Structure 1
Amino acid sequence: MNIEDLVRETLSDMAGQEQPPPPSRFLRAAGGRPRRRGLALAAAAAVTVLALGSTLVVGGLSSRVAEAPIGQGTGEVVAKSVTVKEGLRLSQILERLSTATGRPVAEFRRAAADGGALGLPGYAKGALEGFAFPGTYQVSPASSPQEILAAMVARFARAAEDARLVEGARRVGRTPLEILTIASIVQAEAADRRDMPKIARVIHNRLDHTPEMRLQLDSTVLYGLNKFSVGASTKDLRSTSRYNTYARPGLPPGPIGSPGADAVEAALRPAAGPWLFFVVTDPERGVTEFAASEQEFFKLVKEREKHGSG
Structure 2
Amino acid sequence: MNDLDLNTLLGAEDDGSTRSGARGGRRASRRRRRRRSRGRFLAPLLAFVVLAGIIGSGGYYGYRWINDALVPDDFSGQGAGEVVIEIKDGQSASDVALELERQGVVASARAFTNAVGNANMSDKLQPGEYKMRKRMSAAAAVGLLNPDNRLLATVTIAEGLRLSQMLPKLAEKTGKPVKEFQAAAKDAEDLDLPSYAKGKLEGYAFPATYEFQPKTTPKQMLAAMVERFRQTAKSVDLEEGARALGHTPHEIVTIASIIQAEAGRAEDMPKIARVIYNRLDRDPPMTLSMDSTVMYALGKFRTYATSAELETKSPYNTYRNQGLPPGPITNPGDHAIEAALNPADGSWLYFVATDPKSNVTEFATTEAEQSALVAKCRSNGGCGG
**Structure 1-normalised TM-score?**
0.75
Q: Does structure 1 conserve the Cα–Cα contact (< 8 Å) formed by 2:129 and 2:214?
A: no
**Which amino acid is 1:217 matched to?**
M
Correspondence for 1:286:
359
Q: Does structure 2 conserve the Cα–Cα contact (< 8 Å) formed by 1:103 and 1:141?
A: no
Correspondence for 2:371:
298
Find the aligned partners of 1:252 and 1:153 in 2 and give their Cα distance. Answer: 21
Out of 212, 220, 228, which is 2:293 matched to?
Answer: 220
Out of 193, 200, 214, which is 2:273 matched to?
Answer: 200
Correspondence for 1:119:
192
Find the aligned partners of 1:115 and 1:181 in 2 and give their Cα distance. Answer: 18
Instruction: Please state how far the C-alpha of 1:211 moved relative to its aligned partner.
Output: 5.0
Instruction: Please state how far the C-alpha of 1:66 moved relative to its aligned partner.
Output: 2.3
Correspondence for 1:152:
225
Structure 1 residues 96 and 211 mapped into 2: Cα distance closer, same or farther (>3 Å)?
A: farther
Instruction: Tell me whether 1:251 sits opposite 2:319 in the alignment.
Output: no
Correspondence for 1:142:
215
Find the aligned partners of 1:293 and 1:233 in 2 and give their Cα distance. Answer: 22
Residues 176-209 of structure 1 deviation map (CA, whole Å, 9 limit, x = unaligned): 0000000000000001110000000000111111
Q: Does structure 1 conserve the Cα–Cα contact (< 8 Å) formed by 2:254 and 2:329?
A: yes
Map 1:69-148; keep pairs closer than 5 Å. Answer: 73=145, 78-148=151-221
Instruction: Tell me whether 1:66 sits opposite 2:127 in the alignment.
Output: yes
Correspondence for 1:232:
305
Find the aligned partners of 1:146 and 1:282 in 2 and give their Cα distance. Answer: 40
Find the aligned partners of 2:129 and 2:285 in 1 and give their Cα distance. Answer: 60
Q: Does structure 2 conserve the Cα–Cα contact (< 8 Å) formed by 1:221 and 1:244?
A: yes
Instruction: Please state how far the C-alpha of 1:70 moved relative to its aligned partner.
Output: 9.3
Instruction: Please state how far the C-alpha of 1:271 moved relative to its aligned partner.
Output: 0.1
Find the aligned partners of 1:281 and 1:212 in 2 and give their Cα distance. Answer: 26
Instruction: Please state how far the C-alpha of 1:304 moved relative to its aligned partner.
Output: 2.5
Find the aligned partners of 1:305 and 1:149 in 2 and give their Cα distance. Answer: 40
How many residues matched? 246
Q: Does structure 2 conserve the Cα–Cα contact (< 8 Å) formed by 1:211 and 1:249?
A: no
**Which amino acid is 1:255 matched to?**
P
SS of the residue corresponding to residue 289 of structure 1 reads strand
SS of the residue corresponding to residue 204 of structure 1 reads helix
> For structure 1, which runs of at least 5 residues remain unmatched after alignment?
1-45, 47-64
Residues 249-303 of structure 1 deviation map (CA, whole Å, 9 limit, x = unaligned): 1100000011000000000000000000001222222221111111221222233
Q: Does structure 2 conserve the Cα–Cα contact (< 8 Å) formed by 1:70 and 1:79?
A: no
Correspondence for 2:348:
275
Find the aligned partners of 1:213 and 1:300 in 2 and give their Cα distance. Answer: 20
Q: Which runs of 4+ in 1 moved over 6 A?
A: none
Find the aligned partners of 1:304 and 1:146 in 2 and give their Cα distance. Answer: 43
**Which amino acid is 1:288 matched to?**
T
Q: Does structure 1 conserve the Cα–Cα contact (< 8 Å) formed by 2:258 and 2:329?
A: yes
Find the aligned partners of 1:240 and 1:274 in 2 and give their Cα distance. Answer: 30
**Which amino acid is 2:164 matched to?**
S
Find the aligned partners of 2:377 and 2:158 in 1 and give their Cα distance. Answer: 28
Residues 96-121 of structure 1 deviation map (CA, whole Å, 9 limit, x = unaligned): 11112211111111111121211101
Instruction: Tell me whether 1:178 sits opposite 2:251 in the alignment.
Output: yes
Higher relative contact order (CA 8 A, sep 6+): 1
Structure with greater Cα Rg: 2
Out of 225, 234, 241, which is 1:161 matched to?
Answer: 234
Residues 215-256 of structure 1 deviation map (CA, whole Å, 9 limit, x = unaligned): 111100111111122322222211111101111111000000
Find the aligned partners of 1:280 and 1:213 in 2 and give their Cα distance. Answer: 21
**Which amino acid is 2:337 matched to?**
V
Q: Does structure 1 conserve the Cα–Cα contact (< 8 Å) formed by 2:191 and 2:223?
A: yes
**Structure 2-normalised TM-score?**
0.61
Correspondence for 1:37:
none
CA RMSD of aligned residues (A): 2.2
SS of the residue corresponding to residue 120 of structure 1 reads coil
Find the aligned partners of 1:215 and 1:198 in 2 and give their Cα distance. Answer: 14
SS of the residue corresponding to residue 237 of structure 1 reads helix
State the percentage of identical aligned residues.
53
Find the aligned partners of 1:70 and 1:303 in 2 and give their Cα distance. Answer: 57
Find the aligned partners of 1:125 and 1:210 in 2 and give their Cα distance. Answer: 29
Correspondence for 1:17:
none
Instruction: Please state how far the C-alpha of 1:92 moved relative to its aligned partner.
Output: 1.1
